[in-house]
Amino acid sequence: MLAIFKKEFISFFASPIAYLVIGVFLLINGLFLFIFNDDFNILNAGFADITPFFNLAPWVFLFLIPAITMKSFADEYSTGTIELLKTNPISNWQIIFGKFFGSILLVIISVIPTLIYAYTVYKLGNPVGNIDFGSTIGSYLGLLFLASTYTAVGLFTSTLSKNQIVAFVLSLFITFILFYGFDAIATSFSRNSFAIQQLGINEHFKSISRGIIDTRDIVYFLSVTFFFLFITKTRLDNE
């Protein structure tokens, strides 16, 4: 697994993918949080709060994580190297987890520079340091769970086609449904709206972002992530 992990991670930086992902993620967040005169602008909020970043990041992830994962297996299938991988003395789980953690590490590297946003809000507070650390830590933890779920979905869709663009679109569609689709459906069912919202990612992400670590939210993210990793393995087993 370690060899696959290293190969996957190094391959990102051997191509423009890693630099584009990190650059685009920071650029989009920076523009919306500090430049554009919109609801996400931290400077226009009137109080020291980093919540706009955590409201925006999941939507940016919807596009960036599928861009990271789209080549994971699609590229292996199109070049024929998947056969070489499967003939090596490693299990399909090791292949999947190697690619999974390689992609996750790139996402983490992309998020690390955003700590400067938290520091900026910390310094802008009146008094200095007037920031909700519990909510901030919980939100970053929520982003990690969110990224793991999106990555698992992306790995699965990458096994469905040799075409990376098809894998990207499928991943974008599924993650969008998981993140926002259930909230949209819930608005049409007033009686069971809460139960429907609990099926989606957004409700659990918002729960963790409040700084309250609920085991139900953790179990939800781990379950959805493992489900997509499992069906990814099933796809590889059936090839």
Residue among 46, 53, 44 at smallest CA distance from 114: 53
In percent, how much of the chain has pLDDT > 90? 39
pLDDT of residue 167: 94
Phi, psi of 181 (to 5 degrees): -60, -45
Domain boundaries in the chain? Answer: 2-237
pTM over 0.95: no
Token pair recorded at residue 167: 């894998």
Per-residue model confidence as pLDDT tens digits over 77-96: 888 788 777 777 888 899 99
pLDDT over 80 (residue 113): yes
Query: In the chain, how many H helices and how many E strands?
Result: 13, 0
Phi, psi of 29 (to 5 degrees): -65, -40
Residue among 74, 140, 156, 80 at smallest CA distance from 107: 140
pLDDT of residue 6: 84
Per-residue model confidence as pLDDT tens digits over 217-234: 899 999 999 999 999 999
Distance CA 214, CA 197 (A): 16
